[in-house]
Amino acid sequence: MSPAAAPGGAKGPGEGGKVPRHVAIIMDGNGRWAKQRGLPRVAGHRAGAEAVRRALQAAADHGVEALTLHAFSSENWRRSEEEISDLTALMRFYLERELKTLEKERVRLKLIGDYSAFGAELVERLEKAVERTADNTRLTLVIALNYGSRTEIAAAARRLAVKAVAAEIDPATIGETELSAELQTRDLPELDLLIRTSGEVRLSNFLLWQAAYAELLFLEVLWPNFDEQAFAGALETFAARDRRFGGR
């Protein structure tokens, strides 16, 4: 990676400070990429993991502060046992291989979703990586694992209800800020840009609350083909958008 750019600074296509602080990506299309080549789906996931490395590098180079990647949804358990076990094995492999890179490049790893579902061994590795990178400040890489947005919002509401019952908070004071503070994304900047690859035009239960005022970008490119140019292009599109937030 090249030297750090100032967060939200004037480097890259967003000259003038229009670099999104927080970018999220629904990395879709691995299966179709493999199918196009007559390969098994796992080959698509492997190629997708290489695209993750490129996206991480591009985000750091452009001065993005947080990059959230959807790696496994709470609905992805509907896939075959074989595919789930391939995905788990790949996560283990890349975690081991890339931990040094995260440390070297000063990237903080953060997890969202109920990743405990992936078993004690992977959980231990994941948590070790989170701990080892906790003090890094150049970029926060957020990986969504067994993540579902409705589940996240329901859990936040449940925690607020528990606090209210315990008389720790007055229900009348519960507002957007209080609910946001219970979400797993509580320590991240507002989501600015949400990208989905592979031509599907839906959110698939990803960051529903957080995307309230994000710019949405649906790209035809299949995730394994997503590269530095595609990332730069997405930031250019973002910089050209007129974000009005209800104003005129």
Catalytic residues: 28, 76
With respect to ligand IPE, which residue has the nearer C-beta, 204 or 225?
204
Q: Measured from the CB of residue 218, what is the shortest distance to Mg ion in angstroms?
A: 13
DSSP-H helix ranges across the chain: 30-36, 41-62, 81-104, 120-132, 149-165, 176-180, 228-240
What's 208's DSSP letter?
T
Whole-angstrom Cα distance, residue 102 to residue 104? Answer: 6
Rule CB under 6 A: is residue 68 a binding residue for ligand IPE? Answer: no
With respect to Mg ion, which residue has the nearer C-beta, 129 or 221?
221
Whole-angstrom Cα distance, residue 159 to residue 97? Answer: 36
- Residue 76's binding partner, choosing from ligand IPE, Mg ion, none, with beta-carbon cut-off 5 to 8 A by kind? ligand IPE
Rule CB under 6 A: is residue 70 a binding residue for ligand IPE? Answer: yes
Residues of span 4-33 touching Mg ion by CB under 5 A: 28
**By beta-carbon distance, which residue lies closest to ligand IPE?**
31
Q: Measured from the CB of residue 247, what is the shortest distance to ligand IPE in angstroms?
A: 32
With respect to Mg ion, which residue has the nearer C-beta, 70 or 108?
70
With respect to ligand IPE, which residue has the nearer C-beta, 26 or 67?
26
Q: Measured from the CB of residue 30, what is the shortest distance to Mg ion in angstroms?
A: 7
Rule CB under 6 A: is residue 31 a binding residue for ligand IPE? Answer: yes
Strand 193-196 with 215-218, pairing: parallel
CB contact at 8 A, 191 and 211: yes
Q: Report the Cα 223 to chain-centroid distance in Å.
A: 14
User: Quick one: which of 197, 207, 230, 222 has its CA closest to 55?
Assistant: 230
Rule CB under 5 A: is residue 65 a binding residue for Mg ion? Answer: no
Rounded (5°) CA angle 137-140-141? 145
Name the residues that contact ligand IPE, by CB under 6 A. 26-32, 70-73, 76, 87, 198, 200, 202, 204
